[in-house]
Structures are given as C-alpha cells and as structure tokens.
Amino acid sequence: MTIRTWLTPPPRRPAEPLDPSDRRALWIEITIVLLVTFGLSGLSSMLSLLESALAPAPLSDQTVALNVPRSSQQFIDLARQLLGIVRLLAWAALGVYLLWRSGIGPRAIGFARDQFRRGLLPGVGLAALIGIPGLGLYLVARAAGLNLTVAPSTLEDYWWRLPALVLWAIANSAAEEVLVVAYLITRLRQLGWSENSSLLASALLRGSYHLYQGVGGGIGNVVMGLVFGRYWQRTSQLWPLVVAHALIDSVAFVGYQALRGHVSWLP
C-alpha cells in the first residue's frame, strides 16, 4: 500500500441520514462526553499555555511535570494515583459503552479481546514511527523557545513508582484512543462528516489538550493524531494505536526515571 493510498480517505458508504431530533441528541452526547473528558482538558490546556506565555521566563526555561505526587503520604499518594488511573479507564469504558449501546460493538472498532495479539506488532511499528521523530520535534521546539521543558515524572522513589507509571501509560492510551479516535470519528461519520473532516477534528482535539507542554507539544500531537486516526480509518483496528501509545508513554515515563541525573538535557 503506497503513501498516497494512506493519504486518501478510505471509501465509505454515505451515512444514513438522521432526523433533526437524532442529530441533536448525537451532538448533545458528543458535547457532554467531551466536556467531561478531553474537550475540557483542551480548554484548560490552552489556558495553561497562555499563562506560561505571559510569565516573565521564556517557555524553554519553564518546566511542566506530567506525573506528579498527589500527597506527601506515600500510601495516600498511591491511592490517588490509582484513582486517576481508574478515572481514565472509566473514560475509555464510557466511549466503548456508548458505541456499543448504539450497535457498534468492540469488534467493529477493532477493540475486541481476541484482536489484541494481532495489534501487537503493528503497535510496535507505530510506536517507533511516532516516538523517535516526536522526541526530535520536542528537542527542536524547546531549543526554539516554543516548548516548555517536560518532566515526565516527579514521583518520589517509592516501590510502586514504576508500576504506577506503566499503569498511567496504559490508561492514557486507552482513554485517548477510544474517545479521540474510535468514538469521535465514528460519531462524526454518523453526522455525515467526511473522513478527512472527522480525522482533522480528532487530531486537533488531541493537539489541544497537549498545549500545556507548548506549541511544539500541540503540533506534535496533531501529527500523531493524523497518523493514528488515518490508520484506524484504514484498518478499523484500535489495538495497534493503544499498544503504540502505551509503549511511547511507558518509555518516556520509565526511561526518564532511569536516565534522570545521568543525561545532561533532562530536567
């Protein structure tokens, strides 16, 4: 399959026209889901970027941490970390449930349990395709003063730190890929949006809630959203996206903890 083929939207049968009440109900559902999940995160992220831009220090001299302590007490911190992880997994479950209730089960979006193994190898390939250039983009954006310094974790050195970081990576990947790719693109298809329009909306949403990292973080995640979204549109397989995203985040979170203090450019 050529690059040009991947850039071309896959052929789809036109969506069944919805009557006005069904369209309104679908828009209400999308709005509520996004306000509860990543849409609100996107608005908050924009405010964070504005706040950082108005600060006296340049963006590259400011640091943002992704995984932070949530209590000075070890086991309360662990409990709150786990609650945050469960919340993200609940967001993913919400997206799967709403699609299932409308007749689109996990198998239709490529997220059934028996489809997991087939998604492992493509997931590793996608992780390499996105992760390595993504690190380069981050370094360039930071050097250009367009990005904050990102510290993937500032958790204390407790026995549960690394398992918690891996669980965060898995929960992040499940929530984002289910809601931002499978759920949103499916719903926009039902509303009659074209494949390119729904892909762009998905990618822009992904970029918006990463703007707290800086302009570079937003752009990098828009690119990731375009690649991941098109892959799903072409294959209807969600597991490779979840695997790839979990690997990228796991390497970033755990690798940072392992290299911190040994690599000069890491904060």
pLDDT tens column, 148-188: 888 888 888 899 999 999 999 999 999 999 999 999 999 99
Residue 108 DSSP class: T
Residue 114 DSSP class: G
Cβ(220)–Cβ(242) under 8 Å?
no
pLDDT tens column, 234-249: 999 999 999 999 999 9
Q: Quick one: pLDDT band at residue 135, thresholds 50, 70, 90? A: confident
Model-wide pTM > 0.85: yes
Q: What is the mean pLDDT of the chain?
A: 91
Q: Which tokens hold the place of 213?
A: 């990292």
What are the residues facing 64 on neighbouring strands? 150
- Maximum pairwise Cα distance, the chain: 61
Which of 114, 113, 133, 130 minimizes the C-alpha distance to 122?
130
SS3 label, residue 110 = coil
